[in-house]
Structure 1
Amino acid sequence: MRRIRRTIVSMLIVSLLFLLSACQNRIDPLKEDEEELSGKLRIAIGQPFASGRVHPLDSSVKGPIYDKLKAFENQHPDLEIELIDISFTTGEPSTIPQDPLPDLMEVAPYQIRWVANGNDFEDLDPFVQISRWKDGFAKLVDGTRLNGVAYMLPIKSEPMIMYYDAKVFGELYITAPTEEWTWDDFIMASQQLKAEGYVVNIPDKFDAIEPIIKGLGGTYTSEDGMQFINYLDNDSTIAAFDQYSSDMRLHTSGEANKAGHKALGMGRPSDLYSLLDENTNLRIARMPIFPDGNRHNTALTTGLAIAANSPNKTAAMELLKTLTSEGEEETVRFANFNALAMKNDKFSTKPLAQQDELLTVMKLESEISAPATFQLNPGMINHYGILNERSEEFANLLPTLFQQDSPETALKQLAGMVETLFSTQRGMW
């Protein structure tokens, strides 16, 4: 009997050792390769007004993405990262090396759609699939796809947000924004605030009002982002501009730069640093629910894409793994923070009192956002991108879009202009 027991115990021990060994030897598809990375990794990062400078990764560059790159280079002492400062100033020669393209490039979704040739960048779907993202970051990646394929992993995402003065709302007994706040609630609050002499700050930039136009039933482009005629100028979009003019221009105090106490507004977060810093009573809220029962938003988005002919794809892929290794929530938060700090370093050096709240709301809004239609490049300063090619004509059209009963002619002109301009961009790095 004792011999049988000893035999059973021995078999159990052997089985446990076998299972332990199997667990230890299981290959994790996301685990970094044991071999050391080496060689040169050329990375092109968008910089406003950059001159195409090529330089080592050193202390001359600052910002969240550069901190990540420095940490990665420190982990791999045999790998040299070379930076290329790229500028996409419309109408000026490109500063991107063409032959070959950099190993990794910061690009905007519409560059993937309109500028890149079909064989310029690596298909990242195999990596996306083994990463098994399900929530926030998966939604950011999905928003950048071209014909269902992921060619870039987002490193910046800046959606529109809403803000309000909690003190003023309390003094006037106006219900503060909640998760259920609707467009009608926004309009009613705007009327009350205007009657009391406060400013309601609503953007009138063409790119910034895109989510509002979507929420009111319009659209700037086809679902695949490739057509403008019969979308930007269709009856639904014309009606949306009419309603926007009626709702907003009659009930608000207008432009972002109008003097006065701003008690309610919408905007891109990176443009709001001074306003939020000067008034700590301002709180951050999500965009309202529109008449169709949904939230709508657009984000200024950029991501890193791997050149299909990169001689160091192994290092490029390992970098993407590292940038997304902290989980979906942190990866989205990084994309939001990177968008802020790369445009205004005060978000890093002197964080706002409301910064945690701001990043929380940005994450939620990023997850429902489509890429901003006219952000043709990573430059976050001038959002009109391709429209700068016809800047004078566009400047004349823009005011008429916000005059009730007059947007139809302007939208038809604009749709034709944009469709013609975008079709000229293929290969124009």
Structure 2
Amino acid sequence: MKKLRFTLILLSLTFCLIGAATAGLAASKPVNLKMVIWGAPKHIDMYNKLLESYKKTHPHIAVEIIIAPYGEFTEKVTSMIASGNPPDITWWSEDSLTYFADKGYFVALDGAVKKWGKDWQMADFYPSTLEGGRWKGKLYAIPFSTPAPVLFYNKKLFDEAKLKYPNENWTWDDFDSALRKLSKGEGANKVYGVENLLDKGTEWQSLLNLIRAYGGNFMNAKRTRCVINSPQSVTALKKYMEWVNGGLSTKPGIAAPFEQGRSAMFLGFMSMNARFDGVKGLDYDITYVPKGPAGRKLRGGSAFLVVMKSTAYQKESLDLLRFLSSEEGIRVQSEYFGPPRRSIGLSKEFLNPATPPANKKVFIDSLQYSSLTEHFPLFVKANLIAQEEFDLMVAGKQPVEETLQKIQTRVNALLAGK
């Protein structure tokens, strides 16, 4: 939380440096590009493999891949800019994309995409994924990962509990019933029904999958007002707190890893496969996130590639972006990420049931139930407010009703400029 606040302060100090960038200068050879990601070492291996193909036609370009933890990512990038050593191309999360686009940190891509032409096949992208990269009518980001959340489940633990595997017809009530039968043991031998429903163990936004299913939401359709304080949201969060306080789910920040058999289920994205890759004895598959009274309404998320306006190598960075987002580039990245291109997501190679999880088509089919929440610049600050109040609720310091009332009041005051 403090680091994110630091990032927001640092923006005002670093923005002036963008105008001094040397994007228009001709790059000397060789060219060394820096690419910042928040991934795992396996992702670096994946990119190095992909870049071998790129270097065959661009031998003068070297790409250094730098890992920054997700929670420190924007701080890392803005610090690099402030130090005069900016990255050239980076990943970027949808939650802060519009904020930074609005501040002018990214190169607008419309002209480049037009030059890339038909060979790049813009129509191959799912329209909703490209829309997430737009702000005020301009395209600033190209998706490389288009995940909708899915439900991972441990087949062995379901078999031991004599339960049928979850399927597309499951409701949150079915989920609740299974939790009570799957949770067992005490202490170090405790097995939970579900590893915490929160992305990265603490982020409240993942609960929108539950809140929306019961008819609530964080923002209205135009993203102009917070509407989270509703009876539907109260019902959803009380159910969540019952799971946490009842020992059916791990508490935020407490690890009971799914891949170690400590939790029977796990709500996550395709990128989580990197955690499970090569784990011996783990027999798992995926299915759809459960439905609620309002249906299946998921909090989706996309991860994007952007070119920083502060780069000294804009031409080379744009060409690297073209390659990484091409059909070849997305095919290689789809080893770990939900592909935003139809040609890859529906390919036999991607859907191959011989590599886990077998039911990969769920990754693609779940996109129809998914929508973004964060597509407005002030989401960064609104999210801080919601996380603060949510943390108090989970710590038992305030009830669900008070939490939702405070979030809505504070976020709407923020939006009103108060």
TM class by shorter chain equals: 0.5 to 0.7
Native 8 Å contact 1:45 1:85 kept in 2: yes
* 1:97 aligned onto 2:99: no
**Post-superposition offset of 1:217:** 1.9
Q: Report the Cα distance in structure 1 between the residues aligned to 2:411 and 2:37, rounded to whole angstroms.
A: 23
Give the TM-score taking structure 2 as reference length. Answer: 0.63
Native 8 Å contact 1:90 1:389 kept in 2: no
Amino acid across the alignment from 2:144:
I
Amino acid across the alignment from 1:399:
V
Q: Hey, what does 1:203 align to over in structure 2?
A: 197
Q: Hey, what does 1:292 align to over in structure 2?
A: 294
**Structure 1 216/262 Cα, relative in aligned 2: closer, same or farther at 3 Å?**
same
Question: Deviation string for 1:310-346 (max 9, x for gaps)?
Answer: 56444333222222332697377256189xxxxxxxx
**Post-superposition offset of 1:176:** 1.8
Count of matched residue pairs:
354
Alignment of 1:285-324 (within 5 A): 285-299=287-301, 301-308=302-309, 312-324=313-325
Q: Hey, what does 1:124 align to over in structure 2?
A: 109
Alignment of 1:11-90 (within 5 A): 40=31, 42-47=33-38, 62-81=44-63, 88=72
Match of 1:189 among 171, 178, 185: 178
Native 8 Å contact 1:207 1:372 kept in 2: no
Native 8 Å contact 1:276 1:282 kept in 2: no
* 1:280 aligned onto 2:282: yes
Q: Report the Cα distance in structure 2 between the residues aligned to 1:67 and 1:231, rounded to whole angstroms.
A: 46
Q: What SS class does the counterpart of residue 106 from structure 1 fall into? A: strand
Native 8 Å contact 1:288 1:295 kept in 2: no
Q: What SS class does the counterpart of residue 336 from structure 1 fall into? A: coil
Question: Deviation string for 1:118-148 (max 9, x for gaps)?
Answer: 5432333462895555566544333343345
Question: Deviation string for 1:199-236 (max 9, x for gaps)?
Answer: 311425323323222222222334465x5x53234554
Question: Deviation string for 1:35-78 (max 9, x for gaps)?
Answer: xx9663643413589xxxxxxxxx9x933234334532342123
Native 8 Å contact 1:91 1:389 kept in 2: no
Amino acid across the alignment from 1:330:
R
Q: Hey, what does 2:215 align to over in structure 1?
A: 217
**Structure 1 267/114 Cα, relative in aligned 2: closer, same or farther at 3 Å?**
same
Alignment of 1:144-293 (within 5 A): 144-147=133-136, 149-157=138-146, 159-170=148-159, 172-194=161-183, 199-201=192-194, 202-203=196-197, 205=202, 206-223=204-221, 227=224, 230-245=226-241, 252-255=248-251, 257=255, 262-267=263-268, 270=272, 273=275, 277=279, 279-293=281-295
**Structure 1 136/212 Cα, relative in aligned 2: closer, same or farther at 3 Å?**
farther
Q: Hey, what does 2:356 align to over in structure 1?
A: 355
Q: Hey, what does 2:402 align to over in structure 1?
A: 409
Alignment of 1:362-401 (within 5 A): 362-365=363-366, 368-370=369-371, 373=374, 397-399=392-394
Runs (5+) with no aligned partner, structure 1: 1-36, 50-58, 339-352, 377-383, 425-429
**Structure 1 62/396 Cα, relative in aligned 2: closer, same or farther at 3 Å?**
closer
- Bigger Cα displacement from structure 2, 142-151 vs 187-196: 187-196
Amino acid across the alignment from 2:59:
P
Q: Hey, what does 1:110 align to over in structure 2?
A: 95
Q: What SS class does the counterpart of residue 291 from structure 2 fall into? A: coil
- Bigger Cα displacement from structure 2, 325-334 vs 206-215: 325-334
Q: Hey, what does 1:143 align to over in structure 2?
A: 132
Q: What SS class does the counterpart of residue 238 from structure 2 fall into? A: helix
**Structure 1 296/157 Cα, relative in aligned 2: closer, same or farther at 3 Å?**
same
Q: Report the Cα distance in structure 1 between the residues aligned to 2:280 and 2:373, rounded to whole angstroms.
A: 29
Q: Hey, what does 2:345 align to over in structure 1?
A: none
Give the TM-score taking structure 1 as reference length. Answer: 0.62
Q: Report the Cα distance in structure 2 between the residues aligned to 1:124 and 1:356, rounded to whole angstroms.
A: 35
Question: Deviation string for 1:257-296 (max 9, x for gaps)?
Answer: 4598533343456399369935423322232233323341
Q: Report the Cα distance in structure 2 between the residues aligned to 1:359 and 1:303, rounded to whole angstroms.
A: 21
Amino acid across the alignment from 1:73:
K
Q: Report the Cα distance in structure 1 between the residues aligned to 2:414 and 2:134, rounded to whole angstroms.
A: 22
Q: Report the Cα distance in structure 1 between the residues aligned to 2:136 and 2:388, rounded to whole angstroms.
A: 32
Task: Please report the RMSD computed on the Cα atoms of aligned residues, expressed in angstroms.
Answer: 5.1
Q: Report the Cα distance in structure 1 between the residues aligned to 2:274 and 2:81, rounded to whole angstroms.
A: 35
Q: What SS class does the counterpart of residue 413 from structure 1 fall into? A: helix
Q: Report the Cα distance in structure 2 between the residues aligned to 1:367 and 1:328, rounded to whole angstroms.
A: 24
The percent identity for this pair of structures is 18
**Post-superposition offset of 1:416:** 5.5
**Post-superposition offset of 1:399:** 1.1
**Structure 1 277/423 Cα, relative in aligned 2: closer, same or farther at 3 Å?**
farther
Native 8 Å contact 2:32 2:63 kept in 1: yes
Runs (5+) with no aligned partner, structure 2: 1-27, 340-353
**Structure 1 263/97 Cα, relative in aligned 2: closer, same or farther at 3 Å?**
closer
